[in-house]
């Protein structure tokens, strides 16, 4: 008996997969047959997807919410589509794009149209991701130019930092003794002293 599966991918652990899950449930995909990967953009090992691939048998059906769930770029989407339809011989239905449903149009023309739509959508999806990354980079650059600081704010130095620093600089105390007096890790003390030294060198230059 042919089985129905669903594949869900979100780009990070902070992203919610509920929208994709609801779509799968509405189509009657059994919860045990829904495979979910939560990954960062850099890590595309996809353990759940690999498990799904091993489970698939010819004429099974795989649902995905959108075409970009199959891969992180144009080339990879096309490759995964080929593996699923040609090697595993399963049907794929892209929920957001009814034209990409291999159950329809099994003849030569139907296959040609599906492949054509797939290539166009894969290309558009990759271009959109690239555009988003470029806009983010431009936004960050513009913010930095305006003096906006990113990351966690630095913890203010203890009031007696410069007095202890001068004693350390003069060789009166060790770095360990200085960090203990300031109640901070030795690595933090070394980092702060290096910043002060660099700042003083720039002023002197």
Helices (H) and strands (E) in the chain, counts: 7, 4
Q: Are 184 and 176 in contact (CB under 8 A)?
A: no
Q: Are 84 and 56 in contact (CB under 8 A)?
A: yes
* CA atoms 18, 20, 21, 22: torsion sign: positive
Question: What stretches of 34-147 show up as alpha helix (H) in DSSP?
Answer: 47-55, 74-82, 108-145
E strand or H helix at 9:
strand 4-10
Residues with catalytic function? 11
């Amino acid at each position: 008996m042919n089985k129905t599966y669903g594949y869900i991918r979100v780009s990070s652990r902070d992203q919610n997969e509920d929208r994709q899950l609801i779509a799968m449930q509405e189509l009657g995909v059994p919860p045990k047959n829904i495979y979910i990967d939560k990954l960062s953009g850099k890590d595309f090992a996809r353990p759940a997807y690999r498990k799904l691939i091993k489970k698939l048998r010819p004429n099974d059906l795989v649902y995905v919410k959108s075409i970009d769930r199959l891969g992180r770029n144009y080339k990879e989407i096309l490759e995964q589509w080929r593996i699923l339809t040609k090697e595993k011989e399963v049907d794929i239905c892209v929920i957001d794009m009814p034209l990409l449903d291999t159950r329809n149009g099994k003849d030569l023309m139907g296959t040609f149209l599906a492949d054509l739509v797939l290539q166009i959508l894969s290309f558009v999806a990759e271009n959109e991701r690239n555009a988003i990354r470029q806009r983010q980079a431009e936004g960050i650059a513009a913010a930095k130019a305006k003096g906006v600081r990113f990351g966690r704010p630095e913890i203010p130095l203890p009031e007696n930092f410069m007095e202890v620093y001068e004693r350390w600089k003069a060789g009166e105390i060790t770095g360990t003794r200085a960090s203990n007096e300031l109640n901070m890790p030795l690595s933090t003390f070394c980092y702060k002293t290096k910043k002060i030294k660099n700042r003083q060198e720039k002023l002197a230059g």
